[in-house]
């Protein structure tokens, strides 16, 4: 039994005037008295009693700290007494310099409580059969000590107020959404920025034809967007063609990105014309930006005079790299005023399939891990601080989240090779037990969780499967993401909107550098 050797200073600690956190009577039982004649088994049971009393004190401290939501508490002294028979008193209470936040202190304290529990289990294991008296320490008493589970990974509270804009488009004014950068997650970020512009300039947003972009009808609930606003604010390309009576045109390209104009190459413009669309003049809103290496950060007041137009159909080009009102865009629910949790979300078929998968394989308490590997080594090592972690280091980071969350299973969304995932699975072991890492299995007619996708001929569609992965991860109790990945960012967006974001959500090995980094080419 180790206790702090530092004594309390009444003038320096706000805790010193409170009732002792060790508010138990250590003289109440003869098991607390030092007895040189006791057997090893008796000594272990005595230590177990002491650990139980220590747990009571630590839980009392926990209960006091969680009520002080605006306080900050200091680091616990690492100095300990070498007198194993010492009994803690108020003078032994650790002093806390006011440098650590309440959340950090609470997290560290909870880890100690859980560690204490493991020590008890280890001490108790030798006595379960030989000594019936040890049963008094078994699970029944846990109802007292852990009657209300300490919730470290609780949900992040949604903000009371959001900064929003009403989207009330004129029925005969359109904004053409053109997104060409990267894969689906990049395109969704581009679409969200287009929605802000459509709301600002009171235009209906037109999704591009699946011949030049993804088939958004397969992965997104487009009707959901209109239902959330109670009016038609987005339309498919086919509906746009019907409205225009085949007189297809884009009157003006007002390019947010100056170089290349609208972030479009000549090949894409040719393909756009091949759809029968007549293109108007292509011009940059800020021609001077063509000389800049980094896009300028701009706000609505900068944008309004440049993009106001009475033309029937306009386009502003790819918006993925546009630095515009980022904080407004990133808030839970996004910048548009609506009556739903998230405006842009998976299709109904994907959402139901994700729920069925969770009910079948994961249950209500699981961690989701986006473990990106393919192409990530080069991408991360090109950055100032690499984000590509050796698998043993990654496993250690994952285990720390598992300890905090008390989640029994991990959903693994990854593009890694089996050689990497097999090693990861072998290393994610807690208390001698492997923590299952679950990947989505291939379709099996004996399993019914993916029946909706199978009946609608959507199994095997890469973008549908990617959105299904995102949806499952967005439903997790805790999410571990890949830093620098837009796939991860879209999951975090959904979690913010759906209210599933946890205080334990983090990027893999957040705050750490890889412990080994290869040289560049």
In this structure, how many other beta carbons lie within 10 angstroms of the beta carbon of residue 507?
Answer: 19
pLDDT given for residue 89 in this prediction: 44
Chain-centroid distance, C-alpha 341: 16
pLDDT given for residue 42 in this prediction: 67
Each domain of the chain, given as residue ranges in start order, spans 174-330, 348-507
Strand partners for 434:
429
Helix axes 184-200, 462-474, angle to 10 degrees: 80
Cβ neighbours of residue 97 under 8 Å, at least 6 residues apart?
Answer: 74, 75
pLDDT given for residue 154 in this prediction: 87
Return the sign of the alpha-carbon dihedral for residues 316, 320, 326, 332. positive
In whole angstroms, what is the distance from residue 77 CA to residue 5 CA?
9
Could you list the pLDDT tens digit for every one of the 521 residues in the chain?
Answer: 443 333 333 333 332 333 333 333 333 344 444 445 556 676 677 667 667 766 766 776 666 565 554 444 444 443 444 444 444 444 444 444 334 456 656 666 766 676 677 667 656 655 544 443 444 444 444 444 444 445 678 898 888 788 899 999 999 999 999 999 999 999 999 999 999 999 999 999 999 999 999 999 999 999 999 999 999 999 999 999 999 987 899 999 999 999 999 999 999 999 999 999 999 989 999 999 998 888 888 999 999 899 999 999 999 999 999 998 888 999 999 999 999 999 999 999 999 999 999 999 999 999 999 999 999 999 999 998 999 999 999 999 999 999 888 899 999 999 999 999 999 999 999 888 999 999 999 999 999 999 999 999 999 999 999 999 999 999 999 999 999 999 999 999 999 999 999 999 999 999 899 999 999 88
Pairing of strands 278-284, 367-371: unpaired
In whole angstroms, what is the distance from residue 256 CA to residue 159 CA?
31
Domain 348-507 class, CATH top level: alpha beta
In the numeric block, which tokens belong to residue 305?
Answer: 């005079």
In whole angstroms, what is the distance from residue 75 CA to residue 106 CA?
11
pLDDT given for residue 293 in this prediction: 83
pLDDT given for residue 483 in this prediction: 93
Of 357, 350, 386, give the one whose Cα is nearest residue 184.
350
Give yes or no for a contact between 169 and 233, defined as CB atoms under 8 angstroms apart.
yes
In whole angstroms, what is the distance from residue 247 CA to residue 108 CA?
65
pLDDT given for residue 81 in this prediction: 40
Three-class secondary structure assignment of 238-305: HHHHHHCCCCCEEEEEEECCCCCHHHCCHHHHHHHHHCCCEEEEEEECCHHHHHCCCCCCECHHHHHH
In this structure, how many other beta carbons lie within 10 angstroms of the beta carbon of residue 15?
Answer: 20
Of 262, 303, 338, give the one whose Cα is nearest residue 497.
338
| Angle made by CA atoms 408, 413, 417, in degrees to the nearest 5 | 110
Expressed in angstroms, the distance from the first to the final Cα of the chain is 54
In whole angstroms, what is the distance from residue 121 CA to residue 128 CA?
10
In whole angstroms, what is the distance from residue 510 CA to residue 518 CA?
20
Q: What is the CA radius of gyration of the chain?
A: 29
Give yes or no for a contact between 69 and 106, defined as CB atoms under 8 angstroms apart.
no
pLDDT given for residue 179 in this prediction: 95
Give yes or no for a contact between 409 and 363, defined as CB atoms under 8 angstroms apart.
yes
Give, in order, the Cα–Cα distances in Å from 84 to each of 22, 51, 112, 238, 408: 17, 12, 19, 78, 35
Give yes or no for a contact between 256 and 317, defined as CB atoms under 8 angstroms apart.
yes
In this structure, how many other beta carbons lie within 10 angstroms of the beta carbon of residue 21?
Answer: 21
Give, in order, the Cα–Cα distances in Å from 309 to each of 35, 166, 167, 318: 90, 19, 17, 19
In whole angstroms, what is the distance from residue 434 CA to residue 395 CA?
11
């Amino acid at each position: 039994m180790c206790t702090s050797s530092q004594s309390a200073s009444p003038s320096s600690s706000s805790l010193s005037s409170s009732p002792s956190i060790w508010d138990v009577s250590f003289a109440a039982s003869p098991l607390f008295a030092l007895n040189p004649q006791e057997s090893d088994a008796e000594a272990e049971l005595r230590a177990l009693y002491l650990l139980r009393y220590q747990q009571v004190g630590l839980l009392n401290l926990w209960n006091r700290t969680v009520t002080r939501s605006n306080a900050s508490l200091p680091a616990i002294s690492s100095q300990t007494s070498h007198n194993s028979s010492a009994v803690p008193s108020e003078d032994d209470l650790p002093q806390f310099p006011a440098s650590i936040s309440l959340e950090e202190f609470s997290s560290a304290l909870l880890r100690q409580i859980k560690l204490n529990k493991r020590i008890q289990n280890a001490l108790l294991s030798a006595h379960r059969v030989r000594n019936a008296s040890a049963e008094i320490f078994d699970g029944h008493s846990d109802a007292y000590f852990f009657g209300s589970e300490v919730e470290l990974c609780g949900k992040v509270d949604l903000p009371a107020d959001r900064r929003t804009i009403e989207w009330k488009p004129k029925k005969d004014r359109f904004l053409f959404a053109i997104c060409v950068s990267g894969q689906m997650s990049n395109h969704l970020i581009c679409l969200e920025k287009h929605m802000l512009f459509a709301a600002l300039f009171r235009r209906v947003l037109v999704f591009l034809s699946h011949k030049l972009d993804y088939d958004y009808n397969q992965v997104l609930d487009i009707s959901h967007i209109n239902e959330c606003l109670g009016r038609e604010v987005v339309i498919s390309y086919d509906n746009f063609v019907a409205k225009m009576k085949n007189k297809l045109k884009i009157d003006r390209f007002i390019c947010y990105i100056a170089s290349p104009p609208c972030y479009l190459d000549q090949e894409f413009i040719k393909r756009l014309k091949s759809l029968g669309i007549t293109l108007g003049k292509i011009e940059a809103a800020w021609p001077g930006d063509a000389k800049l290496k980094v896009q300028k950060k701009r706000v609505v007041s900068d944008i309004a005079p440049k993009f106001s137009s009475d033309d029937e159909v306009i386009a502003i080009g790819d918006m993925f790299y546009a630095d515009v009102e980022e904080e407004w865009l990133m808030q839970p629910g996004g910048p548009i005023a609506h009556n739903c949790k998230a405006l842009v979300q998976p299709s109904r078929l994907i959402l139901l399939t994700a729920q069925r998968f969770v009910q079948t394989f994961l249950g209500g308490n699981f961690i989701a891990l986006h473990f990106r590997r393919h192409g990530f080594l080069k991408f991360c090592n090109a950055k100032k601080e690499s984000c590509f972690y050796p698998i043993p280091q990654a496993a250690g980071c994952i285990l720390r989240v598992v300890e905090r969350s008390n989640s029994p299973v991990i959903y693994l969304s990854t593009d890694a090779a089996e050689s990497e995932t097999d090693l990861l699975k072998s290393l994610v072991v807690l208390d001698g037990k492997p923590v299952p890492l679950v990947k989505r299995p291939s379709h099996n007619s004996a399993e019914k969780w993916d029946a909706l996708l199978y009946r609608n001929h959507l199994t095997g569609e890469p973008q549908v499967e990617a959105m299904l992965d995102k949806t499952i991860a967005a439903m997790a109790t805790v999410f571990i993401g890949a830093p620098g990945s837009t796939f991860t960012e879209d999951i975090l967006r959904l979690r913010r909107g759906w209210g599933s974001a946890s205080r334990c959500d983090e990027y893999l090995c957040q705050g750490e550098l890889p412990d080994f980094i290869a040289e560049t080419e």
